[in-house]
Amino acid sequence: MALRATIYKVELQVNDLDRQVFESFSLAIACHPSETTERMMVRLLAFALHAGEGLTFGRGLSSEDEATLWQHDLSGALRLWIEVGLPDERLLRKASGRADSVYLYSYGGRSAGVWWQQNKTALERLKNLTVIDLSSDTTEAMAALVQRTMQVQVTVQDQEIWLSEGEKTVHIVPDKLLMCQ
């Protein structure tokens, strides 16, 4: 019998002073059995940082033709493609050709650093790609907040992020490795 995804219920409050976005979302996030809670929380953070009309989660790890998160406009054009983790460079190249903007939220500490050094030259050629790295300490602290039902607040100001659940808060200073041109 195949293992089923674990569903997490999240009431998300986004207060993004940098983009002037102030919204609430009720989300049901499926965490595949092979996915860590760390990755799930990075997906949630990416959702909060790009919250806007039409932003949706892709089908997940098993679907190579879909983004982790993506946003289509009303005409169906793909405006935003978001990945998390350390994907194959070919996936990012394909996403870059399909979407107006592509974001990658990498994490994993030393392995993320090695991945970046191996892929940096190829990725720098993608003019619509932004790569943001999150430290291991940050993503581990985010994973420690996970509960089956969560009330998460994300506040963004001056490119710094505060992610809170209950009484616990994680301060996040993302490292921008590559900014789209």
* Domains of the chain listed by start with CATH number: 6-178 (3.10.640.10)
Alpha-carbon distance of 68 to 113, in angstroms, equals 21
Encode pLDDT of 32-51 as tens digits: 888 999 999 999 999 999 99
Percentage of the chain with pLDDT > 90?
Answer: 88
- Contacts of 124 by beta carbon, 8 Å cutoff, 6+ apart: 178
Q: Is the pTM of this model over 0.75?
A: yes
pLDDT of residue 118: 97
Alpha-carbon distance of 118 to 99, in angstroms, equals 24
Encode pLDDT of 123-168 as tens digits: 999 999 999 999 999 999 999 999 999 999 999 999 999 999 999 9
Q: Has residue 1 got a pLDDT over 60?
A: no
Confidence of residue 66 (pLDDT cuts 50, 70, 90): confident
Alpha-carbon distance of 122 to 130, in angstroms, equals 13
